[in-house]
């Protein structure tokens, strides 16, 4: 049992106002793996007050000094990388081999990257008789999700600190333990008190208190579109800046001249990463109608290669979902797909075979599932499922494929596959999404990340993420 009974506020471990706690479950077994405090409005008040008091001094700290702190944090996380990978594998369900590389590796790299960025970033420039200054927005409230918990924390906390902002973090209550490890690392790094503060709790209480707080200048949120809309409504009352990274329903367009084997395998892998609990998951595979049968066979074969199992095992390729609530949600979508007439090619809503009687019987497992002959108007093609569920949608020609890809309220990511690189890029430019992979192009942690339409606004990662936490100021000079 992991028991965390204090918040990190104003540079010290503070006793919560309430004695209430939140149970955290092991995704692989369903058993309670620990508890965290349930933060209240008063806890948020204390954290915000600490951040506000620390802001003036921290914002005046030279960028080179801020970079030193960020690198110390990166080094501290690296020293605890094995612990982080193991903790998040249990919280979220990502197989341990991937968790170490992605869930622990990316946050370490991001803190280090922002330390390096500060060496070259220009915070001011002369424009005729004006001195244009980039200054920190102020106190930032960061509200983060459970699917890539520390990575999403790093994409907010690291650039906010780099910009000179102070931070109050409210991580997901489903995967919170990694945030406490970060707080310990920050404490050990000697970051000035109040610059970083951690409060755990539920969205309707701690989360909403943070969003509504008049002393918070900006909210950076990653999560569902529904929650993002609620945050926008609340934040509007104090006209604070809001950055939102929300849901997705990404299309993978396989053009008729693509290497079908490579494209299908890449799409299935892009759909099933982290058991489908990825906002950029390639959940709609668009294939030429003439190639549908072959593509479907290849997809089923690829899906059946994703062996379900204990996320702590080195051989597991597909772990569980993160919570019982998520398990029920994904299974309901699979049932909905069958009801609406989609063809179930593999998988389904039943519990996977072989788990009964084992320690994994209570885990949140869903079979890798593929639906064929899906119409884009179906629920499974329009709504974000957040599980290992792929929809195969046939199309007639290139224009039809682009129309289908853009026929969604989301616009976070996508993919295009073609042996003609120029053609693939031409199609990719017409996809209304913030990120489009071309022929399996790799993720770039320095490129801007964010979405169009109801996938949110604002950008994370690299210099683009740093700029989100800065305001412009013009000094009009005489002579």
What residue has token string 């936490």?
Answer: 469
**C-alpha–C-alpha distance, residues 295 and 275, integer Å:** 21
**Which of 91, 173, 208, 245 is labelled catalytic?**
245
**C-alpha–C-alpha distance, residues 349 and 440, integer Å:** 30
**Which of 91, 173, 279, 460 is labelled catalytic?**
279
Does residue 245 carry a catalytic annotation?
Answer: yes
**C-alpha–C-alpha distance, residues 388 and 370, integer Å:** 8
Angle among Cα 81, 83, 86 to the nearest 5 degrees reads: 105
CA 294 to each of CA 300, 301, 400, 457: distance values in angstroms, whole numbers, following the listed order: 10, 11, 20, 38
Does residue 279 carry a catalytic annotation?
Answer: yes
Question: How many CA atoms lie within 13 Å of 376's alpha carbon, on the beta-carbon side?
Answer: 20
Determine how β-strand 218-222 pairs with β-strand 139-143: parallel
Determine how β-strand 32-37 pairs with β-strand 2-3: parallel
**C-alpha–C-alpha distance, residues 25 and 99, integer Å:** 17
Q: In what order do the strands lie in the sheet with 130-136?
A: 124-127, 130-136, 470-476
Look at phi and psi of residue 347 and say left if phi exceeds 0, alpha if psi is from -120 to 50, else beta. left
In 3-state terms, the chain is what percent helix, strand and coil (to 5)?
40, 20, 35
Rg (CA), the chain: 23
286 within 8 A of 393, measured Cβ to Cβ: yes
**C-alpha–C-alpha distance, residues 158 and 165, integer Å:** 10
**Among the residues of 37-148, which ranges form H helices?**
41-59, 63-79, 81-92, 96-98, 105-117
17 within 8 A of 206, measured Cβ to Cβ: no
Cα torsion for 205, 228, 27, 174, to the nearest 10°?
Answer: -20
Residues annotated as catalytic (active site), given as ranges: 245, 279
């Amino acid at each position: 049992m992991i028991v965390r009974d204090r918040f990190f506020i104003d540079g010290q471990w503070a006793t919560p106002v309430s004695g209430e706690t939140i149970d955290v479950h092991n995704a692989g077994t369903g058993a309670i793996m620990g508890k965290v405090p349930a933060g209240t409005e008063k806890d948020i008040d204390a954290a915000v007050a600490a951040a506000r008091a620390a802001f003036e001094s921290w914002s005046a700290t030279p960028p080179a000094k801020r970079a030193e702190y960020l690198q110390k944090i990166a080094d501290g996380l690296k020293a605890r990388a094995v612990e982080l990978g193991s903790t998040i594998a249990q919280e979220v369900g990502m197989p341990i081999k991937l968790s170490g590389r992605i869930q622990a590796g990316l946050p370490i790299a991001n803190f280090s990257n922002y330390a390096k960025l500060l060496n070259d970033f220009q915070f001011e420039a002369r424009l005729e008789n004006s001195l244009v200054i980039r200054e920190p927005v102020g106190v930032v409230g960061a509200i983060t999700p459970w699917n890539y918990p520390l990575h999403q924390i790093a994409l907010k906390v690291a650039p906010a600190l780099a910009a000179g902002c102070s931070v109050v973090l409210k991580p997901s209550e489903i995967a919170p333990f990694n945030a406490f490890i970060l707080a310990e690392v920050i404490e050990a790094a000697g970051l000035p008190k109040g610059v970083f503060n951690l409060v755990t709790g539920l969205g309707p209480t701690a989360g909403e208190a943070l969003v509504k707080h008049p002393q918070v200048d900006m909210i950076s949120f990653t999560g569902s579109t529904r929650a993002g809309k609620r945050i926008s409504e609340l934040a509007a009352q104090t006209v604070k800046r809001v950055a939102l990274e929300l849901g997705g329903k990404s299309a993978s367009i396989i053009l008729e001249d693509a290497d079908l084997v490579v494209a299908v395998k890449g799409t299935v892998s892009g759909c099933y990463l982290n058991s489908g609990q990825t906002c950029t998951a390639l959940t709609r595979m668009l294939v030429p109608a003439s190639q549908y049968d072959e593509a479907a066979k290849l997809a089923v074969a690829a899906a059946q290669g994703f062996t379900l199992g204990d996320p702590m095992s080195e051989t597991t390729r597909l772990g569980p979902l993160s919570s019982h609530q998520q398990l029920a949600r994904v299974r309901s979508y699979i049932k909905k797909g069958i009801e609406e007439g989609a063809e179930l090619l593999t998988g389904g809503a039943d519990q996977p075979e072989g788990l009964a009687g084992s320690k994994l019987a209570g885990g949140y497992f869903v079979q890798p599932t593929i639906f064929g002959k899906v119409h884009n108007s179906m629920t499974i093609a329009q709504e974000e499922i957040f599980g290992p569920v792929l929809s195969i949608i046939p199309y007639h020609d290139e224009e039809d494929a682009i129309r289908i890809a853009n026929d969604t309220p989301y616009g976070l990511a996508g993919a295009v596959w073609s042996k003609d690189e120029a053609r693939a890029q031409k199609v990719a430019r017409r996809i209304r999404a913030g990120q489009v992979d071309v022929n399996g192009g790799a993720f770039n942690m320095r490129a801007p990340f964010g979405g169009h339409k109801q996938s949110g606004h604002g950008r994370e990662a690299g210099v683009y993420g740093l700029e989100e936490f800065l305001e412009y100021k013009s000094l009009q000079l005489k002579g």
